[in-house]
A and B are shown apart, each in its own frame.
Chain A
């Protein structure tokens, strides 16, 4: 049984058909990739599954329950963690605060704890903090915990996004171009982090990437999207040798 299943999802932005008849099955502990040229609809697919937009047609099922029509925070609480292509960090908050914030829906001390600083709240805030530090260790930025995110270099900001998404305790992690804008050194480190997350936490991962090297090395199954439609799906080898993919996408990349 797949962990996440998307069935015949179609979405229109006004008259523009951004996604057409999209299907997806993510198995537990699988790393899947989604590639495609600019404007193909990759981010839109992420936004549809995570509840930012409500699909015009189709169904989305997470572990037997449909999540279509739920609010983004509900879907996130159910186990769909994500990062953003264009970093969406909170500019006045520290790295540690970012990671702690992602525990929001798991907090049990409630408003009475928030107002009166009860022992229960102190204990729980302390636990959240420990967990946050562990995640910062995992992505290698513990030493930046107290920094306000706007002061950080780009690579570190991407890691904050990663740690924050992990703190929601996802069952599947959605990564939207996790290496975009990174230099080769940062790229290698980020791939290492993704591998570690996959192995140590055993997460299923669904990632969008432009860099072929990253997708081909990490993913078990890859989909290629062009104009909102999947034109090919298969292992990295199959994708690399698929004439349609080469024609629509890879060919151009090779030329460049």
Chain B
């Protein structure tokens, strides 16, 4: 018996050693190396994805790593796994490892030239990957667009519910305000249809003026936020949750009764301005600005207010102003996201922005993790994937997801990645070089 145990333990540690040995070289793969490897995988899929999928008995290449196939036709699970192994896992693993020296060298060169430039190049790489990956399937493109928009929404709500530690339910309302404002802006100006009549401006101008529409949507949401913030932050106490919930319902019924924007029928005919590039740029912009904010001492005042308002005010922090600014700031981004959303779906109605949207947004924030930019990205991506994967369950999905969230709340109450700080400069640093070597590379 004892021997047996020892044998098993030996086996397990041998397994662990093997894993460790396999993993070791990857510790020195810089982010640039991973991006390059992902690019290779994506190119490979473009070249041989379709024939390989057919060969494996699937009708076409699995759109989202096969998450949907798995539930729909379980018999194809081995094929899906093999596909992922051959198209993604192996090519990425091999490329990342073989090019580690090269990518480290390039990453160091870039880093020493300018860390800002290096970050931009990494982002461009990421865009190239997404662009190619989404080019082979419209469904994939749609999911990626919606996921990017979800990132903006999740991040902005995290500012309130995570960084500031208040509980706000008004996000669907802010998204709706942004969606309607941006839609009216583009439809009135650039589209000839029945609701608002002839286009006012030449439609060719539309894509260039679209950002103005999005910003106006953001501002509309921020004005809505002001209406919530004034009564909520006047005195200490938990008024925000209830006032913001009321606000959400008021916005829905407002749009239901506004015939000029279609009432319950909603608004359609939004022009197709929200292409992947536009959404990607706005998402990166929101991550950059929100991350800057929460890392500044002004932004960290939110944490101080959350963890002890009395002490914050004794340390010269204007607590009320801090809360108001953060709340309006978050609402602005929710509004921008709403404008993008309206131009992806190209149809909105008041029902879209109800309690179900609220549940989704809250789920993404709490899944990803409070007080964490990386967490919000993970939460938005994870939730959208999960939500698509469970689509075949239809209505049951809305039982499975809440149950998973409850389990999460029990075992990881603050989410997957919580209370971290995202340092973009550390992210793009080369991995194998020590500080000294990096310095030498410059001279």
Contact = CB atoms under 8 A, between A and B. Distances in A.
Interface of A: 50, 52, 71-73, 76-77, 81-82, 84, 88-93, 97, 100-107, 109-111, 113-117, 121, 125, 128, 164-165, 167-168
Interface stretch (B103-111, B139-147, B149-157, B313-321): B313-321
Given A92-B307, A101-B301, A168 B293 contact: no
B300 interface: yes
B311 interface: yes
Nearest to B292: A117
Given A115-B289, A128-B297, A104 B316 contact: yes
Question: Chain A at the B interface: mostly helix, strand, loop or mixed?
Answer: helix
A114 B300 CA distance: 10
B297 A76 contact: no
A104 B298 contact: yes
A102 B293 contact: no
B315 A93 contact: no
Contacts of B419: 92
Contacts of A117: 292, 296
Given A97-B297, A115-B292, 10 more contacts: A72-B313, A73-B313, A73-B319, A90-B312, A93-B300, A97-B300, A105-B317, A107-B298, A114-B298, A125-B296
A73 B321 CA distance: 11
Nearest to B321: A73
Contact of B298 (A90, A92, A111, A167): A111
Contacts of A116: 289, 292
B106 to A, nearest CB: 25
Contact of A90 (B297, B308, B313, B316): B308
28 contacts: A71-B313, A73-B312, A73-B316, A76-B315, A84-B310, A88-B311, A89-B311, A90-B303, A90-B304, A90-B306, A90-B308, A90-B312, A91-B308, A92-B303, A97-B297, A104-B301, A109-B296, A110-B298, A111-B325, A114-B292, A114-B296, A115-B289, A116-B289, A117-B292, A125-B296, A125-B297, A165-B314, A165-B315
A163 to B, nearest CB: 11
B79 interface: no
A164 B315 contact: yes
Contact of A104 (B306, B317, B325, B371): B317
Q: Which 10 pairs between the two chains have the least Cβ-Cβ distance?
A: A90-B307, A105-B316, A88-B311, A72-B313, A102-B315, A114-B296, A114-B298, A73-B313, A117-B292, A76-B316
Given A92-B371, A93-B307, A101-B304, A168 B316 contact: yes
Nearest to A113: B296
B371 A88 contact: no
Contact of B299 (A82, A91, A114): A114
Contacts of B308: 88-91
A104 B310 contact: no
* Majority DSSP secondary structure for residues of B touching A: helix
Contact of A102 (B298, B310, B316): B316
Contacts of B317: 73, 101, 104-105
A243 B319 CA distance: 46
A100 B298 contact: no
Nearest to B319: A73
Contacts of B297: 97, 100-101, 103-104, 107, 125, 128
Nearest to B315: A102
Contacts of B289: 115-116
Interface in B317-344: 317-319, 325
Contacts of B316: 73, 76-77, 102-106, 168
A105 B301 CA distance: 11
A114 B304 contact: no
Contacts of A102: 315-316
B303 to A, nearest CB: 6
A168 B299 CA distance: 18
A88 B310 contact: yes
Contacts of A121: 296
A81 B315 CA distance: 7
A76 B304 contact: no
